[in-house]
Copies of this chain bind each other. A is one copy, B any other.
Amino acid sequence: MPNEILLNAFDMNCMAHQSFGLWRHPRDRSVNYKTTEYWTDLAQTLERGLFDGLFLADVLGTYDVYGGSPGAAIRTATQIPVNDPTLVIPPMAMVTENLCFGVTGTLSYESPVPFARRMSTLDHLTGGRVGWNVVTGYLQSAAKGTGQVDQSAHDTRYDIAEEYMEIMYKLWEASWSENAVRLDRKAGVFADPDRIEQIKHDGLYLSIDSPHLCEPSPQRTPILYQAGSSPKGRSFAAKHAECVFVVGPSTAVLTSVVADLRQRATDGGRDPADLKIFAMMTVIVAPTDEEAQAKLADYQRYVSHESALAVLSGWTGIDFSHFSLDDKLTNSKVEGIQGVMDAFTADPGRVWTIREIAEKIAIGGPSPVVVGSPTTVVNEMERWVRETDVDGFNLARVVAPETFVDVVDLVVPEMQSRGIYKREYRPGTYREKLYGRGPHLTTPHPGSAYHR
Contact = CB atoms under 8 A, between A and B. Distances in A.
A259 interface: no
Contact of A69 (B75, B114, B146, B193): B193
Interface string A1-29: 00000000000010100000101101000
Residue from A31, A93, A114, A190 having most chain B Cβ neighbours under 10 A? A190
B120 A83 contact: yes
Interface in A116-143: 117-118, 120-122, 124-125, 141-142
Interface string A100-122: 00000000011111100110111
A144 B207 CA distance: 9
Given A81-B215, A91-B91, A125-B34, A144 B210 contact: yes
Contacts of A76: 188-190
Question: Which secondary structure dominates where chain A touches chain B?
Answer: mixed
Given A88-B125, A91-B94, A147 B75 contact: no
A449 interface: no
A304 B188 contact: yes
Q: How many copies does the complex hold?
A: 2
Contacts of A35: 124-125
A233 to B, nearest CB: 23
Nearest to A34: B124
A86 B125 CA distance: 12
17 contacts: A34-B124, A35-B124, A70-B193, A74-B193, A75-B190, A81-B213, A81-B215, A87-B87, A87-B121, A87-B122, A88-B90, A90-B90, A94-B94, A109-B114, A111-B146, A111-B147, A188-B306
Interface of A: 13, 15, 21, 23-24, 26, 31, 34-36, 40, 60-62, 69-72, 74-77, 80-84, 86-91, 93-94, 109-114, 117-118, 120-122, 124-125, 141-142, 144-147, 183, 185-186, 188-193, 196, 198, 206-211, 213-215, 217, 304, 306
